[in-house]
Amino acid sequence: MHRILPNILFIVIIFILATAFPLSTDILSLDLSQQIVDQPVDEVVITPKISTVLPELQDSILTQELYFDIKSTTSVFPADLLSTYSLDVFSSTKKVKSIPLSDLTAVKVSDIDHQKRISISKSTLLEGLDEGYYTFKLVEDNKTQDYSWYASNVNYSKVLLKTTNQVSNGNLGLILYYPTSDYQNLVPISRIIKTPDNRWRTLYTTLLNGPKTGLGLYEGTPSIPYAPNIKISKGVATIYMYSANIAGFEDKFPMVVKGISKTFMTLGPLDGVNFLLDDSSNKTVSGVDLKTTFTTGQEKSAYVGYTKDSNYMMLMPLPLSTSTFDDQVNEIIKILKGHTELASNVFSVLPDEITLQGYTLSGSNLQLNFSANIDKVLSAYPEYELLMYKALIYSCTSLEGVSTVQIQANGVNVSNSLIDFNAPVSADKYLNLEP
């Protein structure tokens, strides 16, 4: 009896509790197999860093394509990959056009070592441009990269007029300064003739009759005013002209005087050339004071290439503007590369990728040390390679105190079937021999 009473009391308590608080059945539906998940966090998106990788080696006109690489830190690249890039195209130092890469259809994009390689045919970039040497610069986000690609669209089909020192017995060599087709510059043309009775009159008549046709020089008749009388006295040549003869040449008269003077001084020996108009020197024609004795001989000059409507190339001197020797050497290189304003129908003869590393003047021999590519870049085009060497020889030997030149490629004397610089080389007296 004593044992039953506590059990009954316990059952009563349970009954009271059960009826006082409603029983929830949710606990009976719990899925204890589900994982307990931590509080979710925001997803972190890594933005790739894009960088441009330029070639390590110097480019050359010998290569047909230019390329550079684009690198991504995540190997993920934007869809508009090329939108921030463009190429500036330079002729010498003058920018001729800028090309957005996104506008080009000929761009090749390749996957190389988790990078994108961008390749473009150089011929595509040269479409519509004049013949010559060109340089390309990459621009990224309006910032020009410090690397250059080089290209050429020269057809290399023309022939360089020859030079010589040889004139056989019974012949006379003439160096005639004929005006260019626009009458703005003078080109020395050499002609070998039978020795005449009066070489001075023959010289003037030959100059008067103009150059051989087909050279791209001025072919008007006559090419200079007629002079009925020429007098040589005490080392001075006097050219007699009359008003009727210079009709039509008034505006050309400065070039007329220069061409005649330089032509006569090369035949020499002469101390100078005088001009009389209507038997008087007290006159001025187009700014030319006839009281002046003209002594223009060989000037300090850079010899560039000239061609115009012709199958031929020839050397044409352009006077230097600087005074010190160092400046003159550097000016020659700039002019030969076309880095200064050139005359019409004149083209650069030294590709921009070739660099002058230094020079040494030993006695009267000037040794020029260029980058190693000077004997390679034009080796497939012998006429143009020889033009480059001849231009350097004639330009440098026009400097005071220089009579011979040696050209080196990275410290090694250039020597090939065209020319041998193992020994000093001088300029031939007669240049641009008529074909």
What is the model's pLDDT at position 221? 85
Phi, psi of 413 (to 5 degrees): -60, 130
Query: Are the C-beta atoms of 175 and 263 separated by less than 8 Å?
Result: yes
- CA-to-CA distance for 192 and 63, rounded, in angstroms? 42
| Nearest of 222, 432, 418 to residue 317 by alpha carbon | 432
| Nearest of 319, 210, 190, 163 to residue 267 by alpha carbon | 190
DSSP state of 357: E
What is the model's pLDDT at position 29? 54
What is the model's pLDDT at position 432? 98
What is the model's pLDDT at position 114? 83
- Which three-class secondary structure state does DSSP give residue 200? helix
What is the model's pLDDT at position 68? 96
Compute the 3-state secondary structure of the chain and give helix, strand, coil in percent, each to the nearest 5. 20, 30, 45
Question: Distances from the Cα of 291 to the Cαs of 158, 259, 403, in angstroms?
Answer: 43, 18, 33
- CA-to-CA distance for 129 and 95, rounded, in angstroms? 12
- CA-to-CA distance for 112 and 229, rounded, in angstroms? 78
- CA-to-CA distance for 162 and 431, rounded, in angstroms? 6
Q: Which residue matches tokens 């143009």?
A: 384
Rounded CA Rg of the chain: 40
pTM across the whole model:
0.86
| Nearest of 294, 222, 227, 303 to residue 264 by alpha carbon | 294
Alpha-carbon torsion angle 107, 110, 112, 118, nearest 10: 10
**Tens of each residue's pLDDT in the chain, 435 residues:** 555 666 666 665 666 555 555 545 554 455 555 555 566 656 655 677 889 999 999 999 999 999 999 999 888 888 898 999 999 999 988 999 999 999 998 899 999 888 999 999 999 999 999 999 999 999 999 999 999 999 999 999 999 999 999 999 999 999 999 999 999 999 999 999 999 999 999 999 999 999 999 999 999 889 999 999 999 999 999 999 999 999 999 999 999 999 999 999 999 889 999 999 999 999 999 999 999 999 977 789 999 999 999 999 999 999 999 999 999 999 999 999 999 877 788 999 999 999 999 999 999 999 999 999 999 999 999 999 999 999 999 999 999 999 999 999 999 999 999 999 999 999 999 999 999
What CATH topology corresponds to 50-152? Immunoglobulin-like (2.60.40)
Q: Over the range 300-322, which residues count as b (16 or more CB within 10 Å of their CB) and which as e?
A: bbbbbbbbbebebbbbbbbebee
Domain ranges across the chain:
50-152, 160-289, 301-413
Query: Are the C-beta atoms of 92 and 80 separated by less than 8 Å?
Result: no
| DSSP letter for each residue of 274-318 | EEEETTBSS-EETTEETTPPB---S-SEEEEEE-SSSSEEEEEEE
Neighbours of 225 (CB within 10 A): 22
- CA-to-CA distance for 141 and 266, rounded, in angstroms? 57
- Which three-class secondary structure state does DSSP give residue 393? helix
- CA-to-CA distance for 48 and 75, rounded, in angstroms? 8
Helix (H) or strand (E) holding 71: strand 65-72
Maximum C-alpha span of the chain = 172
- CA-to-CA distance for 149 and 124, rounded, in angstroms? 14
- CA-to-CA distance for 384 and 349, rounded, in angstroms? 8
